Amino acid sequence: PATYPDLPQEIEGYHHLVPLEPPKPIGVVERNFFGAYMSSVYKAIGTKDGLPYCLRRLHNSRLAHQKSLTMVDLWKKLVHAHVVQLREVFSTKHFGDYSLMFIYDYHPLAETLKMRHFSSQQTRMANGNHSLLDDGRSPSGTGAGGPPKFAINNGAAGGSASGGLPESLIWTYVVQLSSALRAIHAAGMAARTMDPSKILIFGKSKLMINCCGIVDVLTFDANHPNMMALIQHQQQEDLVGLGRLVVALACGTLQAAMR
């Protein structure tokens, strides 16, 4: 608490919060994957079991519809080797605003695909530049779609210095991600986070899809006339997102997915 005086000491059964992301440099603006919702990530210890958890906070946001918790329940039941498990979702005012908290399993020593393979783009994020998966739409404006698509990072040459990845490594990634999507789709859901900033990597090549369930809660529409068709469309977008990701990895640049 003394190290991070601006953070609450405890939130709904989680204590000793520690930021997992470094503060952004002054003057650097990076548009958020979740559109208008600013997010922060913390590590905290669960009071009940003493285990570490990952807490993702969406600033200035509330639960739009109680029925969206049905999606949370579905995600909590999904256990897969390549999906970071969602544990619970709740609202809190401990940060001085209304925040939504998404609690996930904590995986130490993980980094994102964005950090591993596109870090040269990350260092160029400056004022006016888009994030790697953003076309200017917020999640609430995606309609039947979902999270934004790959977009050009203005002013960045993009890609890793070594170019595209070896085919064998790409196939290793594809097998893992397709296995995760198969399980998610079989459960009647869609990942909606096929983004290099939302896929974790451990060691040499193990992947896990992260942040599942957040877009579902933010965009939940209880009055949609055909939920089945909506979910099928979102599942199709997952596959398109996987294809874009493979193209970007093969070419060594996220811009390749737009060509």
Poorest-pLDDT segment among 37-51, 113-127, 187-201, 223-237? 113-127
Distance CA 207, CA 92 (A): 31
Would you state the structure tokens that stand for residue 105, as one six-digit string? Answer: 């399993």
For the stretch 32-61, pLDDT in tens is 677 678 899 999 999 999 999 999 999 999
What value does the mean pLDDT of the chain take? 83
Looking at CATH, the fold of the domain delimited by 10-258 is given as Transferase(Phosphotransferase); domain 1 (1.10.510)
For the stretch 89-114, pLDDT in tens is 999 999 999 999 999 999 999 999 99
Note the pLDDT of residue 72: 96
Confidence band (pLDDT; 50, 70, 90) for 236? very high
For the stretch 128-184, pLDDT in tens is 333 334 433 344 334 444 444 443 333 333 334 446 899 999 999 999 999 999 999
Cα–chain center distance at 140? 16
CA angle 114, 133, 109 (to 5 degrees): 25
Helices 227-251 & 167-186 angle (0-180, nearest 10): 170
Confidence band (pLDDT; 50, 70, 90) for 3? confident
57 dihedral zone (left: phi>0; alpha: psi -120 to 50; beta): beta
| Domain boundaries along the sequence of the chain | 10-258
User: How would you write 52-92 as a 3-class SS string?
Assistant: EEEEEEECCCCCCCHHHHHHHHHHHHCCECCECCEEEEEEE
Poorest-pLDDT segment among 31-35, 182-186, 208-212? 31-35
Burial of 86 (0-12, 13-18, 19+ CB in 10 A): buried
Note the pLDDT of residue 151: 36
Does residue 209 contact residue 193 with C-beta atoms inside 8 Å?
A: yes
Does residue 91 contact residue 100 with C-beta atoms inside 8 Å?
A: yes
